[in-house]
Homo-oligomer: A and B are copies of this chain.
Amino acid sequence: MTDEPLKIGVLGYRFMGNAHANAMARLPMFFPDAPAIERHTLVGRDEEALAEAADRFGFSHTETDWADAIEAVDVFYNLGPNHVHVEPSVAALEAGVPVLCEKPLAPTLEGAERMRDAAADADVPSGCAFNYRFVPAIQHARNLIADGEIGEIRHVRGRYLQDWLVDPDAPWAWRMDADLAGSGALGDLGAHSIDLAGFLVGDAVGGIDRVSGHLETFVEERPVLDDDGNVEEYRDVTVDDAFSAQVAYESGAMGTFEASRFATGHKNDHTVEVHGSKGSLRFSLERLNELEVLREGDRGYETVLVTDESDPYVDHWWPPGHVLGWEHTFVHENYEFLSAVAAGGEFSPSFEEGYQVQRTLDAIERSDERGEWVSVE
């Protein structure tokens, strides 16, 4: 590792591209000990849109071929749609380039396995970008659980509610196609909840023993719109609009998970709840600066504003009571990932962890197909 700034290559320049480019841009002012980086190459197919994005996001180069980009950079971010997660990520790792890939790791368990194996064979860090791990309130929750403040874990509950498909005429998109996305609400939203549960209580409950899943597609086909907004054709929705799952953990703890794109009125409502023998915790992404904490001896939940200097990452930002937003999770994530790259260390969540989530998603799908509980295998 030289003293040169790390050259970052990024595949994907839409929502996630923006979120990560912003995170990188903010590191020097707030995390001055982060490694120096250069937003180097932005990768995409539409050259015009790509050039516009590179300009806006501060990248000095563009590429339409990700293989070329991988050759040119020190670190590779794979922020494209799920179906382009595997090949570029594996190629980068095989070239010794660290990779941060958006979640879910891959559309299929097989793809995720290839990525996991490539990461295991490489001696550079890999990361699966479960950004919600980097909410200060979530880190605070994990610390409370790890410190035994919540006691023996009995119940975990994850729920991720959106409503952008409530209208049956909402247009078709790649996220509704099994080949492109793998699954629907399950992989897009449920992956976050499954990962977060693992992050919070995984050590305490000893892994997932078996799961029972339920997937449902409420609207079977959706219009494809042309540039004028007219319906060109109807295309099948081949993924789930919503899922639910029951989980039996090895310790005997119980989990319930649920996600939907049909929860009218909920925009991005991700909640996680934990009950233990000594206390309980509640978190909602819509109020991401808050953690509801019930400790031994408490009679009710304490609504903690997790913005004190002593809270995770908060000392980098503003005084107590000055709330952070959704995007800050990406700053923290990028800080940790890039620091691991620079130090040659490990990053968590790794591809291995992303693969474990994928195994659970896969088991939920298999359970739904078979109509029975299945092991996570």
A residues contacting B by CB (< 8 A) are: 15, 18-19, 21-22, 25-26, 28-30, 32, 56-58, 151, 154-155, 157, 161-162, 166, 212, 214, 216, 218, 242, 244-246, 248, 252, 254, 256, 258, 260, 262-269, 275-280, 285-290, 293-294, 298-305, 307-308, 317-328, 370-373
Contacts and interface: CB of A to CB of B under 8 A. Distances in A.
A280 B265 contact: yes
Nearest to A157: B258
Contacts of A319: 15, 267-268
Nearest to A217: B252
B325 A267 contact: no
Nearest to A370: B372
Nearest to A296: B264
B242 A321 contact: no
Given A262-B155, A371-B372, A248 B302 contact: no
Nearest to A150: B264
A29 B15 contact: no
Contact of A252 (B216, B287, B298, B371): B216
Contacts of A269: 321
B254 A256 contact: no
A322 B135 CA distance: 13
Contacts of A22: 26, 29-30
Given A265-B300, A300-B305, 16 more contacts: A22-B26, A28-B56, A154-B218, A154-B260, A161-B275, A162-B321, A214-B246, A218-B252, A263-B275, A264-B277, A265-B298, A267-B308, A287-B287, A299-B302, A299-B308, A371-B373
Contact of A300 (B299, B303, B322, B372): B303
Contact of A325 (B18, B285, B301, B324): B324
Contacts of A161: 275
A13 B151 CA distance: 37
A270 to B, nearest CB: 9
B280 A263 contact: yes
B301 A302 contact: yes
Contact of A277 (B57, B166, B299): B166
A327 B218 CA distance: 40
A303 B305 contact: no
B294 A264 contact: yes
21 contacts: A15-B319, A19-B318, A154-B262, A155-B262, A161-B275, A166-B277, A214-B248, A242-B254, A256-B258, A262-B277, A264-B277, A264-B278, A267-B319, A268-B322, A285-B321, A286-B305, A286-B323, A323-B326, A324-B325, A325-B328, A372-B372
Q: Which 4 pairs between the two chains have the least Cβ-Cβ distance?
A: A268-B321, A267-B321, A325-B325, A372-B372
